[in-house]
């Protein structure tokens, strides 16, 4: 055989070529993710909820996979099935809680859905108990340690991923700003930390992430606060972002309508300079949300990164570089969401504690009437509300006559 017919073996890539290829792939997929993120956000809340659901499932799969031992799992066919069963049970409980809370006015008046809504927690508990009993029944001698490790690992993953991301979904339903703002603060903080770190970073921050520096950490904190002020000022101008998702069919172009939370409305504040006591106090107008953003930005900068450090320690424990390969050039979904979970959890707790308004809602009134009043009392409520609306001129007198012919008479 002549040398010309011999196939030439491809030259191995140099380190520079590998880094270049990785950088190009990473950059392309970064823009793909950004475009998809904004497209979903402007398309409507339902698309964001779908993305969060997909992230939950994929992240759970990735975290469960790193602790799995294939050789043992083959001998225990129900191990993986139980993992997914507990995931399904957890999602049924969490999703059901959100649907019942935010859409009471729909769920509680439907004859088919009403029993599921009123007994939702009991149904969820019994589903979990069934899985628990099946787990105990599937224990096999010689595999106890592995099976209990998988059981504990599954529950840890459910809490750290699914429970926390559930609050991200609730944030979205409370208003798009409560989803987008925390997420964007974490993303921009990561970018600012990288830029500040390579520019003037000198002191190592933590051993788990050798490339993180104190200078980058502090610099990113300051820049994230400035970004938060600017972004909040923009988002507050659009009701699509600040209104709760009372219509899942809405999008950025159709918009939403609501009475804005007072936190978004400019209020008058008086400031007296400590060194100028004899000068008159200065008055300025600013929305309280601009003060709250200081807390959000500080948490995203000082606390949320520790979610990433926790993930780094987890990967070092199992000696893996990434949680998966779901995103080319970036690793797994969990590698990109490790800080977002705890940030979304914090955003929900802070919002509910300091910002949310607790006013009577249609769903809340219906729930109270269904659970606290008898059928006769509920009919009296209908009559009373109808008379009031007729008196206010909101409905015609014919409605009273119609109800008198349909509703049973008082005993």
pLDDT in tens, 245-300: 888 888 999 989 999 999 999 988 887 666 666 677 778 889 999 999 999 999 99
Distance CA 400, CA 306 (A): 62
Distance CA 359, CA 168 (A): 22
- Give 230-252 pLDDT, tens digit per residue: 999 999 999 999 999 888 888 99
Average confidence score pLDDT of the chain: 86
Lowest mean pLDDT among 131-145, 260-274, 295-309: 260-274
* Beta pairing partners, 283: 270
**Residue 260, H or E segment:** none
- Give 43-94 pLDDT, tens digit per residue: 999 999 999 999 999 999 999 988 776 656 666 778 888 999 999 999 999 9
At residue 171's C-alpha, the angle toward residues 165 and 174, to 5°, is 155
**DSSP assignment, residue 252?**
T
- Give 182-201 pLDDT, tens digit per residue: 999 999 999 999 899 888 88
Percent of the chain with pLDDT over 70: 90
Q: How confident is the model at residue 226 (pLDDT cuts 50, 70, 90)?
A: very high
**Residue 213, H or E segment:** strand 209-213
pLDDT value for 11: 66
pLDDT value for 410: 59
pLDDT value for 380: 80
Q: What does the pLDDT average to over 106-130? A: 91
At residue 255's C-alpha, the angle toward residues 344 and 55, to 5°, is 30
Specify the length of the chain in residues. 411
**DSSP assignment, residue 8?**
P
Distance CA 109, CA 10 (A): 68
pLDDT value for 76: 76
- Give 12-44 pLDDT, tens digit per residue: 766 667 767 777 887 888 888 889 889 999 999
| pLDDT(8) > 60 | no
List the end-to-end C-alpha distance of the chain, in Å, as a whole number.
108
What are the Cα distances from residue 259, in Å, to 262, 266, 304?
9, 14, 32
**DSSP assignment, residue 323?**
S
- For CA atoms 248, 116, 83, 167, the dihedral sign is positive
Q: What does the pLDDT average to over 112-118? A: 90
pLDDT value for 390: 78
Q: How confident is the model at residue 318 (pLDDT cuts 50, 70, 90)?
A: confident
Instruction: Give yes or no for a contact between 105 and 70, defined as CB atoms under 8 angstroms apart.
Output: no
pLDDT value for 370: 76
- Pairing between strand 282-286 and 267-271? antiparallel
pLDDT value for 123: 97
Q: How many CA atoms lie within 13 A of 281 on its CB side?
A: 7
- Give 326-339 pLDDT, tens digit per residue: 888 777 888 888 89
Burial of 388 (0-12, 13-18, 19+ CB in 10 A): exposed
Percent of the chain with pLDDT over 90: 46
Distance CA 85, CA 91 (A): 10
């Amino acid at each position: 055989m002549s040398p010309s017919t011999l196939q030439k073996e491809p030259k191995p890539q140099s380190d520079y070529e590998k880094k270049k290829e990785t950088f190009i792939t990473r950059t392309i997929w970064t823009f793909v993710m950004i475009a998809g993120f904004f497209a979903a956000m402007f398309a409507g809340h339902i698309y964001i909820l779908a993305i969060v659901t997909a992230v939950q499932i994929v992240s759970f799969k990735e975290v469960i996979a790193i602790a799995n031992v294939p050789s043992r799992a083959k001998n225990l066919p129900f191990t993986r099935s139980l993992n997914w069963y507990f995931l399904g049970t957890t999602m049924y409980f969490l999703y059901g809680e959100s649907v019942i809370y935010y859409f009471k006015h729909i769920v509680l008046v439907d004859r088919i859905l009403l029993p599921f809504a009123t007994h939702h927690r009991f149904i969820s508990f019994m589903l979990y108990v069934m899985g628990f009993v099946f787990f105990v029944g599937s224990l096999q001698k010689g595999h106890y340690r592995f099976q209990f490790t998988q059981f504990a690992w599954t529950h840890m993953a459910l809490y750290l991923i699914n429970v926390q991301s559930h609050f991200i979904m609730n944030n979205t339903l409370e208003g798009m700003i409560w989803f987008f703002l925390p997420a964007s603060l974490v993303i921009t903080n990561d970018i600012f930390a990288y830029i500040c770190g390579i520019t003037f970073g000198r002191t190592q921050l933590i051993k788990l992430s050798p490339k993180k520096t104190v200078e980058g950490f502090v610099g990113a904190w300051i820049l994230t606060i400035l970004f938060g002020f600017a972004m909040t000022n923009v988002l507050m101008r659009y009701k699509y972002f600040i209104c709760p998702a009372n219509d899942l069919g809405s999008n950025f172009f159709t918009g939403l309508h609501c009475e804005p939370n007072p936190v978004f409305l400019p209020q008058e504040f008086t400031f007296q300079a400590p060194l100028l006591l004899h000068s008159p106090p200065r008055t300025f107008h600013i929305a309280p949300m601009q003060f709250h953003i200081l807390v959000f930005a500080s948490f995203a900068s000082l606390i949320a990164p520790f979610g990433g450090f926790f993930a780094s320690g987890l990967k070092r424990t199992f000696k893996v570089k990434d949680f998966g390969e779901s995103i080319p050039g970036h690793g797994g979904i969990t590698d990109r969401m490790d800080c977002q979970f705890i940030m979304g959890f914090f955003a929900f707790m802070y919002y509910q504690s300091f910002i949310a308004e607790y006013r009577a809602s249609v769903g809340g009134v219906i729930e109270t009437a269904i659970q606290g009043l008898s059928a006769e009392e509920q009919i009296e409520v209908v009559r009373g509300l109808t008379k009031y609306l007729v008196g206010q001129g909101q409905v015609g007198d014919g409605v009273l006559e119609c109800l008198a012919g349909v509703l049973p008479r008082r005993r």
